[in-house]
Amino acid sequence: MKRLPLFLIVVFSTCWAMPLIAGHHKKGTIDVDMPYVRTPVPGHSMTAAFLTVSNTGEQGCQLTGASSSYAKKIEFHTHQHVDGMMKMRPVDVVEVAGGSSVAFKPGGLHLMLFGVNHDETSSTEITFTTDKCGEIKFSAPIKSIKSQHSKAMHH
Ligand SMILES: [Cu+2]
């Protein structure tokens, strides 16, 4: 029996370790906390997702895009007052400075999901692409706002 070339052994051991790394929310210096996707209003194919992105490293990172099997397209949006009205504006990149965090929350910065895949109903995986921090994959539950409100009222 021939010995395997060294590079093949390296490739195999890297593949073996991949699921362990992918199962964790943390990649490089970027952490994703409390992600969730708002259940779309019946009959609508658009919705929003919210989460907090933290950068525990010293170097700043830019989020350059987001994708998911749950949506055909995902954009970064922010809310702005324009002529006394709240309007959503697309944002190309989201800067997360070293040692800081950025909140995507209702009424502020959010992920806008277009062309929702109604087959996925309980959770989905979202991937961020970044300039210097690699790809960040995380799982987000799909939740209705109603259930959140009733939870909040118990407090
Ligand atoms: Cu929006």
Q: Which domains does the chain have, with CATH numbers?
A: 26-153 (2.60.40.1890)
147, pLDDT greater than 70: no
How much distance in Å is there from the Cα of 145 to the middle of ligand 1? 16
Q: How far is the CA of 26 from the centre of ligand 1 (A)?
A: 26
Spacing, Cα 50 to ligand 1 middle (Å): 11
Give the span between the Cα atoms of 140 and 123, in whole angstroms.
5
> How many percent of the chain have pLDDT more than 70?
75
How far does the centroid of ligand 1 lie from the alpha carbon of residue 92, in Å? 13
Does the pLDDT at position 114 exceed 70? yes
- The closest of 142, 150, 149 to 48, measured between CA atoms, is 142
Distance between CA atoms of residues 49 and 68, nearest Å: 11
Q: How far is the CA of 114 from the centre of ligand 1 (A)?
A: 10
pTM: 0.75
Cβ atoms of 99 and 55 within 8 Å: the answer is: yes
Per-residue confidence (pLDDT) for residue 100, from 0 to 100: 96
